[in-house]
């Protein structure tokens, strides 16, 4: 339950196995697929990728785009097949290794860790690999190592909100909940803050012993019976 919470609610993996900055280097069709994926339309991304692969079945970038779209749609076995084929065609594929690593996060965090470390040997500043590497450490209970990775990532990109949230949640899980609250409170108070970020703050508040404040936050987004169940689950996730 503890690790499921981290993977499913708290620690935020990046949206895709490839950074949006790489869009300009892709073929026009792939640019459409990647843009669709980043705008929240994985069905369109999948259709475009499938169209390219029907003509070019060994097109590695199209396989990566297909894998990302399938992952976003929850078709994890199909996504794994796409990433595996991409890596079989290009053993050094960064996107393929990150994609496979993200699929392994929950079930096999040690194997995922090895994949992200392999990526970082080639691209030490790869933000997606670093963020996911931190998650693998948290999933294995090594919160100190995870926090070192998140701080390294924030040194590369101080604006990366998912890394900041991950750092705070890792701190909360390792017994430093008051510090986590200090990080999460301004993020959850932003006008564009998502319910997920507010719930992350509620989790940290619960770990810090302020259950009433956590309840007020959660009540903005869910019925009272769901709030109670959520807070009960939070209570079992302490260090």
Q: Identify whether 156 is part of a domain.
A: no
Q: Identify whether 199 is part of a domain.
A: yes
Q: Identify whether 155 is part of a domain.
A: no
| Residue 170 structural domain | 161-239
Q: Identify whether 154 is part of a domain.
A: no
Residues 106 and 30 in one domain: yes
Residues 13 and 103 in one domain: yes
153 Cβ neighbours under 8 A, 6+ residues apart? 127, 130, 131, 134, 160, 163
Q: Could you say which of 112, 141, 170 is where a domain stops?
A: 141
pLDDT tens track of the chain, all 239 residues? Answer: 333 344 333 444 343 344 433 444 456 689 999 999 989 999 999 999 999 999 999 999 999 999 999 999 999 999 999 999 999 999 999 999 999 999 999 899 999 999 999 999 999 999 999 999 999 999 999 999 999 999 999 999 999 999 999 999 999 999 999 999 999 999 999 998 899 999 999 999 999 999 999 999 988 888 888 888 888 777 655 55
Nearest CA to 5 out of 169, 148, 163, 147 is that of 169
Q: Could you say which of 141, 173, 191 is where a domain stops?
A: 141
What CATH number corresponds to the domain at position 85? Answer: 1.25.40.10
Q: Identify whether 226 is part of a domain.
A: yes
Residues 191 and 88 in one domain: no
How many domains does the chain contain in total? 2
Q: Identify whether 147 is part of a domain.
A: no
Residues 13 and 112 in one domain: yes
Q: Identify whether 67 is part of a domain.
A: yes
Residues 17 and 134 in one domain: yes
Question: Residue with structure tokens 């339950």?
Answer: 1
């Amino acid at each position: 339950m503890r690790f499921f919470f981290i993977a499913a609610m708290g620690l935020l993996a990046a949206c895709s196995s490839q950074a949006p900055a790489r869009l300009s280097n892709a073929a026009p069709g792939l640019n459409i697929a990647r843009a669709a994926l980043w705008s929240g339309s994985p069905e369109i991304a999948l259709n475009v990728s499938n169209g390219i692969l029907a003509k070019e079945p060994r097109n590695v970038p199209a396989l990566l785009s297909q894998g990302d779209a399938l992952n976003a749609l929850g078709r994890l076995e199909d996504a794994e097949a796409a990433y595996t084929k991409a890596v079989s065609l290009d053993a050094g594929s960064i996107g393929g290794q990150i994609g496979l690593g993200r699929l392994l996060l929950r079930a096999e965090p040690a194997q995922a860790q090895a994949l992200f470390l392999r990526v970082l040997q080639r691209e030490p500043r790869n933000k997606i690999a670093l963020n996911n590497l931190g998650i693998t450490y948290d999933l294995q209970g090594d919160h100190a190592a995870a926090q070192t990775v998140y701080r390294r990532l924030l040194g590369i990109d101080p604006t990366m909100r998912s890394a900041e949230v991950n750092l705070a949640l890792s701190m909360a899980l390792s017994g430093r909940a008051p510090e986590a609250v200090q990080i999460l409170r301004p993020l959850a108070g932003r006008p564009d803050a998502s319910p997920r970020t507010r719930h992350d703050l509620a989790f940290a508040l619960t770990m810090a012993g302020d259950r009433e404040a956590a309840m007020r936050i959660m009540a903005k987004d869910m019925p009272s019976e769901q709030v109670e169940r959520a807070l009960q689950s939070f209570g079992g996730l302490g260090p």
